[in-house]
């Protein structure tokens, strides 16, 4: 039997990155980008390296250097290793009996690398879903809430990457999700995707970036937040409030207010992190949309801008504006 699983990219609509600091967030899935895992029983446990993300053959030394600059030294394979390792530990902790069988696992993704769209978490969710199916673990043993926690632990415990629950929750639950991390008991509310207006997405071409993980972007702010820095705490509260107010704006269909909240979310984040931490390309991705009267913000840590499209928005002109500066643009399917 061949097992195929997937998880979609996600866009942080409002509230990010307060999810990492006991805040609030609204996110939705993007149907255009997907992480996929294929798994089947085999004599030996085999992880088949992805030919793009985990290359082992190159045309020459310059080709190897370009690959390292774009994908780093570790690629996607370590994520699969970490997901398998954490899954085994989790099963032992929960006394989940695993089958005495080996498997071969293949993986691939269409999520743009370093776009801040939850590509790593999507791959982890897809891998965990495949492992759960292979070992015939009933869905009730690992509900969506617990799957999100397990996926987060793959990065925080195994890979020691600073990360929050936002990506994993929306990718586990699916659809448009409002998340409140402010209390001891986290609260997740599913909202109808029909409440969403139209969005566009601008993102970096591979030549624009090096191998940067989202945890490094958050490191300094996280340090200050843990020590009770008043400015950081106040800014995080205001960013979280954008999600709270955005939930009501979605409910009543107030698109203009939603746009204002998106802009405020980005402005607060920009002031808190600073342009150097955000990066010139990320700031420019937002500015290009704003210069044309459109609300925009970062949907994740870096690498992309989420753009609220207005009635009559000329996407062809918007695409050309981004292309002129070497960026990519596309309308997206939100669900």
What does the domain layout of the chain look like in residue ranges?
A: 2-194, 195-331
* Active site members: 167
Nearest residue to 109 (alpha-carbon basis) of 73, 134, 72, 77: 77
As a whole number, mean pLDDT of residues 273-291 equals: 94
Tokens read off for 320: 């050309």
**Residue 188, Cβ neighbours under 10 Å: how many?**
17
pLDDT of residue 246: 98
Torsion-angle region of 205 (φ positive above 0: left; ψ -120 to 50: alpha; else: beta):
beta
144: pLDDT strictly greater than 70: yes
pLDDT of residue 329: 96
312 to each of 294, 305, 317, how far by Cα in Å? 12, 20, 12
Cα gap 164→121, rounded to integer Å: 10
Q: Do the Cβ atoms of 206 and 63 come closer than 8 Å?
A: no
pLDDT of residue 205: 83
Cα gap 175→139, rounded to integer Å: 19
Tell me the three state secondary structure of residue 227: coil
217: pLDDT strictly greater than 60: no
pLDDT of residue 184: 74
Residue 179 pairs in a beta bridge with 25, 188
Q: Do the Cβ atoms of 263 and 249 come closer than 8 Å?
A: no
179: pLDDT strictly greater than 70: yes
Domain 195-331 bears CATH identifier 3.30.70.890: yes
pLDDT of residue 212: 47
**Alpha-carbon Rg for the chain in angstroms:** 20
As a whole number, mean pLDDT of residues 4-31 equals: 96
As a whole number, mean pLDDT of residues 221-229 equals: 85
pLDDT of residue 313: 76
As a whole number, mean pLDDT of residues 214-236 equals: 80
63: pLDDT strictly greater than 80: yes
pLDDT of residue 209: 54
pLDDT of residue 268: 97
pLDDT of residue 216: 55
Q: Give the strand order in the sheet containing 304-308.
A: 296-297, 304-308, 199-203, 328-331
332: pLDDT strictly greater than 80: yes
Domain 2-194 falls in which CATH fold?
A: Ribosomal Protein S5; domain 2 (3.30.230)
Supply φ then ψ for residue 229, to 5 degrees.
-55, 125
pLDDT of residue 126: 98
Confidence bin at 218 (pLDDT 50/70/90): low
Tell me the three state secondary structure of residue 181: coil
Nearest residue to 258 (alpha-carbon basis) of 292, 297, 288: 297
Cα torsion 31, 113, 186, 193 to 10°: value is -20
| Angle, CA 151 vertex, CA 132 and CA 238 arms, to 5° | 150
As a whole number, mean pLDDT of residues 117-144 equals: 96
Q: Which residues of 275-309 are buried (b: 16+ CB within 10 A; e: fewer)?
A: eebbbebbebbbebbeeeebbbbbbbbbbbbbbbb
26: pLDDT strictly greater than 80: yes
Confidence bin at 211 (pLDDT 50/70/90): very low
Residue 32: its H or E element: strand 24-41
222: pLDDT strictly greater than 90: no
Q: Do the Cβ atoms of 214 and 279 come closer than 8 Å?
A: no
pLDDT of residue 208: 62
Tell me the average pLDDT of the chain.
92
**Residue 229, Cβ neighbours under 10 Å: how many?**
14
User: Helix axis angle, 144-153 relative to 166-173, nearest 10°?
Assistant: 140
pLDDT above 90 coverage of the chain, percent: 77
Q: Do the Cβ atoms of 91 and 98 come closer than 8 Å?
A: yes
254: pLDDT strictly greater than 60: yes
pLDDT of residue 31: 94
Confidence bin at 67 (pLDDT 50/70/90): confident
Confidence bin at 97 (pLDDT 50/70/90): very high
């Amino acid at each position: 039997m061949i097992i195929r699983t997937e998880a979609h990219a996600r866009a942080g609509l409002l509230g990010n990155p307060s999810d990492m600091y006991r805040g609030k967030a609204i996110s939705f899935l993007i149907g255009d980008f997907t992480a996929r895992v294929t798994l089947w029983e085999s004599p030996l446990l085999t992880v088949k390296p992805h030919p793009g993300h985990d290359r082992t053959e190159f045309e020459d030394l310059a080709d190897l250097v370009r690959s390292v600059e774009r994908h780093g030294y570790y690629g996607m394979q370590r994520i699969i290793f970490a997901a398998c390792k954490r899954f085994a530990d989790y099963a032992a902790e929960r006394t989940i009996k695993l089958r005495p069988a080996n498997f071969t696992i293949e993986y691939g993704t269409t999520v743009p690398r370093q776009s801040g769209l939850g590509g790593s978490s999507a791959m982890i969710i897809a891998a965990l879903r495949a492992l759960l199916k292979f070992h015939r673990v009933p869905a009730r043993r690992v509900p969506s809430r617990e799957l999100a926690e397990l996926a987060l632990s793959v990065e925080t415990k195994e890979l020691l990457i600073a990360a929050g629950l936002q990506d994993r929750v929306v990718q586990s639950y699916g659809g448009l999700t409002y998340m409140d991390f402010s209390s001891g008991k986290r609260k997740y509310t599913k909202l109808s995707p029909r409440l969403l207006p139209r969005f566009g997405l601008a993102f970096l071409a591979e030549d624009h970036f090096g191998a940067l993980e989202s945890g490094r972007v958050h490191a300094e702010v996280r340090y200050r937040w843990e020590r009770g820095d008043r400015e950081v705490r106040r800014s995080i509260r205001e960013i979280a409030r954008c999600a709270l107010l955005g939930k009501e704006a979605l409910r009543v269909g107030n698109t203009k207010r939603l746009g204002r909240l998106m802009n405020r979310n980005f402005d607060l984040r920009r002031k808190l992190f600073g342009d150097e931490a955000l990066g010139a390309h990320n700031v420019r991705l937002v500015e290009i949309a704003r210069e044309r009267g459109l609300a925009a913000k970062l949907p994740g840590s870096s690498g992309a801008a989420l753009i609220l499209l207005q009635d009559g928005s000329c996407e062809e002109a918007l695409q050309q504006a981004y292309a002129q500066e070497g960026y990519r643009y596309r309308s997206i399917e939100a669900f």
